[in-house]
Chains A and B, each alone.
Chain A
Amino acid sequence: MKQPLLILLVILGIASILLLSISYGSVSIPFATIIDLLFNPDETGWSRIVWELRLPRALFAFFIGGLLALAGVLMQALLRNPLADPYILGTSGGAAAAMLIAFLLAIPIQLHPFMALAGATFSTLILLFFTGLRQGLQQQQLLLSGIILTTGWGALITFLLTAAPTARIPGMLFWLIGDLGESASLLLPAATLAVGLVAALLLAKPLDMLLLGDLQAASLGVSVRSLRFVLLGVAVTVTAIAVTAAGPIGFVGLVTPHLVRFVTGASHRRLIPASVMLGGTLMMAADLLSRTIIAPRQMPVGVFTAMIGVPIFLFLMKRMQR
């Protein structure tokens, strides 16, 4: 397909899902009214729903989806494994456990991102210590280690939930499955996504080189050690901020880059921005469905992404065992 046509289609897709997200909910707002209100806000109830509730929520979903997709792209290049993703590899789990500890110890909310970052970093270091430093590592071994780590974090999380005061458990549970309802601030996810996206794009060429493997990339002129350090920093930070804001939402980071590669190939210059766009859009769609499908009740969005992501993951893994 011609590139301009494709870009046009993508923009149309994003716009229509955004419009749908704003339109549907406890009250439905007609499309024409939304477009009118977006350009001419007024003091009516509908205007406030659009501007204060649904638009921020849709943007929040978009930023979280974008962050997770970016983390997925970076992890897949770093570990040279197309099935890597912060959720599968336990990075999100580490961040989530650290966040629950922060909840329980009543650590001030401003410090939560740092707690999540510490948890995500710790989990990633464990994974790299046991698997990432060896050459010729089997793909399945890496995934298995990540899944074991995720199980370990799950056990710790269950322990923390058991120890928690009963009144706080439902909120913690909802957050744990991945929840966009408590969208606190748009600024932190938006800023992190912007910085992470620019950093990743600046490193697009060396990222392509990493797919050849560390030794081959080094012999072709890449300073692999410092590159890995920077990339890991970006991936872990991006994951931690997404988890802080919305809980550990799975499978967006894994599936999105895969879907994008079918269209763009593996070149990071195209893969990175396209994955962020698609990840954000998929998350908006998942959020829309999760809050309308059993309306007036809402479902945590993580339930939805897992229901879609699990079969896709299994299918991809089968395809990789050529």
Chain B
Amino acid sequence: MSTLLQCQEISIRAGNRELIKHLQWDIEPQQCWGILGPNACGKTSLLHSLAGLRELEEGEILIQQQSINSCSRRQLAQLIGLLFQHSSYDFPTRVEDLVMAGRFAQQKLLAGVTAEDRRLVQGAMQNYAIAQLAERAANTLSGGEMQRVAMAILHTQSPRIALLDEPENHLDPGIMFKLLQLLTRYFSIENRACIMVLHDPSVAVRLCSHLLLLFGDGRYIKGRTMETATPENLSELYAHPMHAVSIDDGLLFYPG
């Protein structure tokens, strides 16, 4: 299987601050990447650039060997999807109809909803435990419920590459891990991959096969999780001493 996504010498700036400089980064099928870094280091800008929603200051992004700038929005939506940091919705659309939005890139403009569409939507709603919300008006949902609806939309969209921007937002610890595992498992099989921005290195270590550490001044470190997530790297990343303790199935990081 060939490389899914390639970043060729990309740079991201905010004003005159160089956040990411000449990033060379390949994402292979079945990889699950975690992006860690201090606040305002360009994590969200990077995700938006990968989704073609933001112009790059320098470099090029290839998706399946094709430049994302030459793809239509529709083609791009079939290949890459994004879970946004915050989802809000002010109109009384039924939740089930809202989840159907994930099918937009697969449907013809004037065609109705097919049985296949309905099956996928219902499956996704079951997965993210929102089947009981199907008839609710979307503008009455809580933050956590809306986050699960957004996950179900992404699942229904079913792109090759899923970009998740702080997917743990609004979710309580009881369900957060289960939902993230569900998403990452779905997007790290077959010819798919997953890239997520996370705040907590302990969560990243449990979920991700690879990590990209962004220092916010142009520098970055990337590699397999176990080689990258060292207390030394993380201490430097957050400019604060970080300690690690071993637990059953991984490492727990905490600030000193």
Contact = CB atoms under 8 A, between A and B. Distances in A.
A222 B73 contact: yes
A216 interface: yes
A205 interface: yes
Interface string A204-242: 011011011101101111111000000000000000000
B110 A202 contact: yes
B97 A219 contact: no
Contact of B92 (A81, A205, A208, A261): A261
A205 B107 contact: yes
B237 to A, nearest CB: 27
B167 interface: no
A265 B93 contact: yes
A172 B82 CA distance: 53
Given A205-B104, A212-B101, A219 B72 contact: no
Contact of B72 (A82, A213, A215, A223): A223
Interface stretch (B83-91, B117-125, B194-202, B203-211): B83-91
Given A216-B87, A218-B73, A265-B94, A208 B101 contact: yes
B34 interface: no
A55 interface: no
A139 to B, nearest CB: 8
Contacts of A213: 88
A266 interface: yes
Contacts of B73: 218, 221-224
B102 interface: yes
A257 to B, nearest CB: 10
B109 A205 contact: yes
Contacts of A267: 93, 97
Interface of B is mostly: mixed
Contact of B84 (A82, A215, A224, A266): A215
Contacts of A261: 91-92
A221 B91 contact: no
Interface residues on B, range: 20 to 34
B224 interface: no
Contact of B105 (A220, A224, A320): A220
Nearest to A267: B97
Interface in A113-167: 139
A206 B94 CA distance: 16
Given A202-B109, A220-B153, A209 B91 contact: no
Nearest to B87: A216
Contacts, number: 77
A54 interface: no
B209 to A, nearest CB: 24
B101 A218 contact: no
A202 B109 CA distance: 8
Contact of B97 (A220, A265, A320): A265
B233 interface: no
A100 B79 CA distance: 52
Given A202-B109, A205-B104, A218 B53 contact: yes
B11 interface: no
B138 to A, nearest CB: 8
Nearest to A203: B109
B24 interface: no
Nearest to B112: A269
A212 B48 CA distance: 16
A224 to B, nearest CB: 8
B170 to A, nearest CB: 16
B93 A209 contact: no
Contacts of A218: 52-53, 73
A219 B53 CA distance: 7
Contacts of A320: 90
A209 B104 contact: yes
Given A205-B107, A220-B104, A220-B105, A266 B72 contact: no
Q: Can you list the 8 inter-chain pairs with the closest CB atoms, starting with the nearest?
A: A221-B77, A221-B105, A266-B91, A266-B93, A221-B74, A219-B82, A223-B73, A211-B91
Given A216-B84, A221-B77, A265-B92, 11 more contacts: A215-B48, A215-B53, A215-B84, A218-B53, A219-B51, A219-B80, A219-B82, A223-B74, A265-B93, A265-B137, A266-B92
Interface of A: 80-82, 139, 202, 205-206, 208-209, 211-213, 215-216, 218-224, 261, 265-267, 320
21 contacts: A80-B90, A81-B90, A82-B90, A202-B110, A205-B109, A208-B97, A208-B101, A211-B89, A212-B87, A212-B98, A216-B82, A219-B80, A220-B104, A220-B105, A222-B73, A223-B73, A261-B92, A265-B93, A265-B94, A266-B92, A266-B93
